[in-house]
Amino acid sequence: MKRGKNPYPGVSENVDRHGTGRWRFRKKGLPSVYLPGPYGSAAFRTAYDQALKGASAVSPSRRFEYGTFDWLIEQYYRSATWQKLAAITQKNRRADLERFRREHGSKRVALLRAMHVEALLSKKSETPAAANALLKLIRRLCRFAIRKGLIRVDPSIGVERYGENPDGFHTWTDDEVAQFEEHHGVDSKAVLAMRLVLYTGASRQDVSGLGWQNVKAGRIAYRRGKTSGEVDLPILDELYEVLSAVPADRMIFIVHSGAKPYKPTTFGNWFRDQCVAAGLPHCSSHGLRKAGATRLANAGANELEIMAFLGHTTPNEARTYIKKANRIRLADRGMERLISAKREQGVSNLVARLDKHRAKALKNQEK
């Protein structure tokens, strides 16, 4: 028997661990959301229409029990705090929240204790960054729960973070930049992407949309998707070298098959493949942003200048690069003083030894 056409493309049924079925909408390029049931109902159709339009949050009619994490997360999606977030931040945060609620959605927020939080983190002890990300998510939910009157004290307070690499993503060195360019060649798309990020500070979200419309009078300007900070930079010779090979009628610099622009996640995955091919599996596009900021700091740029390069709205992160550069400069000066002192000490000792040798020679002559 021929199967009928799906009247709601992109919708599939997911069954949770309790055996409850939920309808989920998933379509490339649009946020993934759960739709209220029953299937085909008025509420279902309204939510489906909203999802097709790219609505970042579909308000479900399904009633979650008051005081559960399911209820709290739905309230968070409807809050002004959520609405103020950038679309890309909503997408990433929603994925984390939905992952958490699948396991703990039916549990009551008021029963959460510090020992429970520690137990959850211990399951991710082998991946400290993931454990700390979970702790951050729990604290965010607990702060919101206090605002909603569910709890009075955040039970995650006092739970210690796991130790991890304080520098986060690896910062590219000049040798690694040279290795990447030597492997792919200056005329390659990979090097074009690498120099765009390195010399503009663009994130994977921003670089995916850069094109000739961002270039004017020898400068390249764009607005950061995550922070809405404005970036306006002169085009350095190294960047101009690769941009000059891009056709003037191409509105997006980095494209794939069919001249289509990359989505941020797709670009990040593609660029990581280019790093692996060049023998740099520990490198990433975000590490290039850090390399660009590091170069500025080492050249003596102040925190406001680095902030403008990264497109941040506050100088907090820029201070990290300044402190690092200052430590290096102070260490260099200290070592230079030590070397100078050793040289002076060496000359003094040599003079003393020569004087002793001269005195001994004169004494022998008198004999």
Residue by residue, pLDDT tens for the chain (367 residues) are 455 677 888 888 876 555 667 788 888 777 777 787 678 887 788 778 878 876 544 444 456 889 999 999 999 998 988 988 888 888 889 989 999 999 999 999 999 999 999 999 998 887 788 889 999 999 999 999 999 999 999 999 989 988 765 556 788 889 999 999 999 999 999 999 999 999 998 888 899 999 999 999 999 998 887 777 788 899 999 999 999 999 888 889 999 887 888 888 889 889 999 999 999 988 988 889 888 888 888 888 888 888 888 887 777 777 777 777 777 777 777 778 877 777 777 656 655 666 666 666 666 666 5
Identify any residues that bridge with 219 across adjacent strands, giving them in sequence order.
216, 234
Closest alpha carbon to 76 in 52, 53, 101: 101
Full residue range of the structural domain in which residue 40 is found: 11-62
End position of a domain, from candidates 131, 164, 197: 164
Contact 207, 220 (CB under 8 A): no
DSSP state for residue 229 in the 8-state scheme: -
CA distance 261 to 2: 38
Q: From residue 130, how far is each of 125, 135, 254, 266 by CA, in Å?
A: 8, 9, 31, 21
341 inside domain: no
The radius of gyration of the chain's CA atoms, rounded to the nearest angstrom, is 29
The backbone torsions φ and ψ at residue 301, rounded to the nearest 5 degrees and listed phi first, read -65, 145
CA distance 108 to 111: 6
6 inside domain: no
Please give the pLDDT value at position 251. 86
One-letter amino acid at 312 equals H
113 and 157: one domain?
yes
CA distance 232 to 234: 7
285 and 308: one domain?
yes
33 and 55: one domain?
yes
Contact 191, 201 (CB under 8 A): no
333 inside domain: no
DSSP state for residue 41 in the 8-state scheme: S
CA distance 181 to 309: 23
202 and 308: one domain?
yes
Contact 234, 218 (CB under 8 A): yes
117 and 128: one domain?
yes
Q: How many CA atoms lie within 13 A of 196 on its CB side?
A: 32
CATH number of the domain at 112, please: 1.10.150.130
265 inside domain: yes
Please give the pLDDT value at position 164. 63
126 inside domain: yes
22 and 86: one domain?
no
Q: Model-level pTM?
A: 0.55
Sign of CA dihedral 172, 178, 184, 189: positive
222 and 309: one domain?
yes
Contact 36, 43 (CB under 8 A): yes
366 inside domain: no
Which are the contacts of 248, defined by CB distance < 8 A and separation ≥ 6?
212
CA distance 120 to 200: 39
**239-271 burial string, b = 16+ CB within 10 Å, else e?**
beebbeebeeeeebbbbeeeeebbebeebbebb
CATH number of the domain at 195, please: 1.10.443.10
Contact 346, 354 (CB under 8 A): no
DSSP-derived 3-state class of residue 230: strand
17 and 118: one domain?
no
One-letter amino acid at 191 equals V
How is residue 40 written in tokens? 């085909």
Tell me what percent of the chain is helix, strand and coil, each rounded to the nearest 5. Answer: 55, 10, 35
End position of a domain, from candidates 129, 164, 199: 164
277 and 248: one domain?
yes
How is residue 19 written in tokens? 């055996």
pLDDT digits (tens, 9 = 90+) for 144-182: 999 999 999 999 998 998 876 555 678 888 999 999 999
Domain count, the chain: 3
352 inside domain: no
69 and 58: one domain?
no
DSSP state for residue 19 in the 8-state scheme: S
71 inside domain: yes
148 and 210: one domain?
no
247 and 303: one domain?
yes
Please give the pLDDT value at position 166. 55
Helix H or strand E encompassing 221: strand 219-223
DSSP state for residue 108 in the 8-state scheme: B
CA distance 135 to 276: 31
